[in-house]
Structures are given as C-alpha cells and as structure tokens.
Amino acid sequence: MSLRVQILIVTLLAVGLAAGWWSFDSWGGDGEGRKKARRASTTLVLVENVTLTEDRITLRVVGTGKAKRSAALHPAVAGEVRSITFKAEQRVRKGQALIRLDDKHQRLKVRLAEVAVGEATRQWQRMQKLAPSGYAAASRLDTAQAAVDSADLRLEQAKAELADRTIFAPFAGVVGMTHLDLGDRVTQDTMAVTLDDRSAIIVEFNVPENHAGRIKVGDEISVKPWSESDQPIEGKITALASRIERSTRSLPARAKIPNPDDRMRPGGSFEVKMTFIGKPYPIVREVAVLWSRDGAYLWRIKDGKADKVFVKLVRRDKGRILVDGPLQPGDLVVVEGVQGLRLGQKVKTAPFTIGAGAKKGTS
C-alpha cells in the first residue's frame, strides 16, 4: 500500500470520528438539547425588596468670616494726637475714649460758653422778679429768655466740638493695632484704629445656582474653621441676596455662628456644609445595577419571571444607588444571580442577606 493511500485512509477516519462526536454532542451530549433543558429549568436568584429614601444632598463650599460688628474709626476733625488710651487686642466698652486730639481751644470755648449761660440765666431770673411789679417790661423778660436759650445752644455746640476731638468706641469689642503715635497730624481721612465685636462670626459664602432655591433664612448649617477642621460649629443662615451673581452664577449668603471663647478671628476661611432633602427615590444595591448600550438597568422579578427595568442613576450612597425609574416599594430586585438572566425567564427567588451573598460567592 502506497503512502498516499495510507494518508487518505487516516484522513477519512479522522473525519468520521469528528462527525460522530458532533452528532453525540448535538443529540446526547452537552449540546443544544441539554441547553434547552437548562433553559427550561428554573434559575435561583437572590432578591431584595425595593424601598424609598429621601434624596439627601450634602453641599460643601468655602466661606470667609467677619466680625458680628466691625468699624474702621476715623477722626471727626483734623488735629494732633495727644493721647492713645488703648493697646492692640484690648477689649473696650461702648463709649470708651480711645484717641484724644489736641483740644485746648475747644475746652476754653466750653468754659466761655458756660460763663455766658450763667450770665444769661442770672439776667433772666432778675427779669422774672421785676416783671410782676412793673419795674421791667414783658418784652425785656422775653429777651432775657431768648438770651438764655441762645447761650445754651452755644454751650452745646462747644461741647460737641470738644467731643469731636476724641475718638470713642461706638460699641463694645476688641481694638486692633494703630499706626498713629503721639504728635501725629490726622485728618478725617486718616484711619485711626479698627474695632471688632467678635462675640459672633458672620460667615459669607456663595451657594451654586442649581441649589439656590433649596435654602432659606433660618436654615441650619455646619461650619468648620480651616484652623480647627475637627470641630464643626452649628449656625444658621441669616441673610440671602436678592439675585444670582452673573460672574459666579451663585447666590451670596450669610450665616451666623457663635464665638463665645473668642477662638475665631474675622477674615478666616471656613468650610460650610449644608444638607438638602429632596424627593424620595428607590434605593438599590450597587451590584444590582447593570449596564447596556441602552443605559443602566436592573432585573425585577414580576410574577416569577425576570423583567428588565431601565433606570437613571440619581446618586450613590454608601454601597447603594438612588435610581429613578418605574419601581414601586416592595418590588423584588435581583441582587445576585443576574448573570445569564433573560427577559421573561422563570426564576426561583430567595431573600438576599450579607451572609448568604458571601457564602454563595465562595461556593
């Protein structure tokens, strides 16, 4: 037998064996018949009931603090500094004198006005005694009364001019540093010293436009100073702007936080945290959500069969996802066993538990 004939016989035998194996696989092995049998069987899946939860949005922005009340104090008149009665960071009371200018001429003017008031008063008292007896005309009494009133006004004017030579604290607070020294000449444009009421801090911040409609005056916020980020402070929104700023597309807002121990300083930066509560959405586990070219979907069990439900993702929340779709509370959603499910496939369900899920994954 030639070599060519032998090769032909071996080839025919190989073809026959391959045809036999294909026939066995199709009719008696793990072929289409067995696949059909598997499709006809019921698949076990682990499911969980759909629940609704409110959409809680946490917004964090950066704010800047300023004092509850703040003032940059200027002299009312020009003059020479004669006395500085405070030190930087000193706490002062309302009405306390801080800086005195040269007031020699004003004090003299006050003394002259006081003398004039005294003389006018004596003349008026004299006319009061003489008028009833007819020794003085009534007109002279009126003139004496006018002189008293005029002298009183000049005295008040002199006292006001004297007071203008002193810078007083308009409210209780803490004074800052001054660049003035004794003998300096100042004018109304000279900034003498700053005064801050730090009993509370006003935090100014901007709320993004898409959240502007969610906040209102009186809402509570949580604030963390950057210098002490581990100690949040509770405060309330005290003011909102009337319009959105074009340049930043945000709404300016203010909040007030207490500062009883005077730890915080005006001008510091703060992390402002706000929480908004929106409408309720179905919440499911992340592993239940699948993706296709048509978008996100999950499997819902309805009447013992698999039903594909397309959803939109709203927000992730600690291993779960808020979704927006045609789901109702109590619907059964497949958590494990989603691989290989087909629309309308019959399934057998079992409740999903953390322990059961982990056990199934390891088997």
Nearest-angstrom CA–CA distance, 189 and 233 = 38
pTM: 0.64
Question: Distance from CA of residue 212 to its chain's centroid?
Answer: 11
Query: Of the ranges 15-29, 60-74, 267-281, which one carries the lowest mean pLDDT score?
Result: 15-29
Q: pLDDT of 234-287, one tens digit each?
A: 999 999 999 999 999 999 999 999 998 888 889 999 999 998 887 899 999 999
For residue 22, the tally of other CB atoms under 10 A from its CB is 12
What share of the chain has pLDDT > 90, as a percent?
A: 56
Q: Is the pLDDT of residue 133 over 80?
A: no
**326 Cβ contact list (under 8 Å, min separation 6):** 309
As its CATH architecture, domain 39-55+280-362 has Beta Barrel (2.40)
31 exposed, middle or buried (CB, 10 Å; 0-12, 13-18, 19+)?
A: middle
HSE at residue 226, side-chain half, CA atoms within 13 A, is 12
3-state secondary structure of 339: coil
Stretch(es) of the chain classified as CATH 1.10.287: 103-164
CB 123 within 8 A of CB 144: yes
- Specify whether domain 103-164 bears CATH 2.60.40: no
Stretch(es) of the chain classified as CATH 2.40.420.20: 39-55+280-362
Question: Distance from CA of residue 160 to its chain's centroid?
Answer: 46
